[in-house]
Amino acid sequence: MASILYVCVRPEQGAADAEHRSFRRALGVPVLDRWDLLDRPLDVAVADRYDGVVVGGSPFNVTAEERGDLQRRVENDLETLAQNAADGPLSAFFTCYGIGVVTRMLGGTVGTAVPESTRATSIRITAAASDDPIFGPSAPSMSVLTAHKEGSIEPPPGAVLLAANDDCPVQAYRVGDRLYATQFHPEVTPQDFVDRMAYYRTTGYFDPREYDLTAERVLAASVTGTDLLRRFAERLRAAAVSTR
């Protein structure tokens, strides 16, 4: 069985714990080790022992005018992980805030002109993703959950654009064969997303006066984002078996 590490970048303990559970369930693994990047710097030697890494979301924004020392250190650590996946044997799946870190590091464009509110949305799987083992089976489109204040306006040079929609032109891309990044949240069910909303009620992702209505709409949605993480884990398992 492939070994996978969940890298957490959420300061809210309850939200972080719930995200950990969401990733474990979506990946379909009995054990998902965890590294809380806000509590301790990345140990590259430890990360390299895993077949794959999944990176969760965060209220941080890479476009923030003021980024404190902690955020800068976290972003440097995430860049190290992303570079290892782009250049080496590590496979990585970055989500939400993580796509901003990867896009900026590799020369793409991140900005605040393409935000999306807390909701379910439809994304188009691109023609370039037709032979991608993670995204290709979901063509021509899929429904996912999203909430972000910034987004990638242009993918990094050389990246393969895997998914897009009218509101956000870069919903997902791949760099090389092992580095994936998504703007949306592939790990959550609608109930997971509503539970997470409670931690971010007053942080600008949705109008707090419309909390109940937003939650109702999310709960009514049917989403398929978790298929991507299941395929990611299956690919890691197959690779682990083939190397034995």
Give domain status of residue 139, yes or no. no
Q: Are 62 and 100 in contact (CB under 8 A)?
A: yes
Q: Is residue 210 part of a domain?
A: no
Exposure letters 102-133 (e unless 16+ CB within 10 A, then b): bbbbbebebeeebbbebbbbebbbbeebeebe
Cβ atoms < 10 Å from Cβ of 172: 31
Predicted pLDDT of residue 240? 77
Residue 121 resides in a domain = no
CA–CA distances in Å: residue 60 to residues 38, 40, 57, 163? 11, 17, 8, 23
- Is residue 30 a part of any domain in this protein? yes
CATH number at residue 232: 3.40.50.880
Look up the pTM and report it.
0.96
Domain annotation covers residue 31: yes
Q: In this structure, are residues 232 and 30 in contact, taking their beta carbons and an 8 Å threshold? A: no
With respect to residue 86, please indicate whether it lies within any of the assigned structural domains. Answer: yes
Q: Looking at the domain assignment, is residue 142 inside a domain?
A: no
- Structural domains in the chain (count): 1
Q: How many CA atoms lie within 13 A of 107 on its CB side?
A: 5
Residue range 115-139, pLDDT digits in tens = 999 999 999 999 999 999 999 999 9
Provide Rg for the chain, Cα atoms: 17
Residue 175 belongs to a domain: yes
Q: What is the pLDDT of residues 182-198, one digit of tens each?
A: 999 999 999 999 999 99
Question: Which domain, by its residues, includes 105?
Answer: 4-115+149-187+224-242
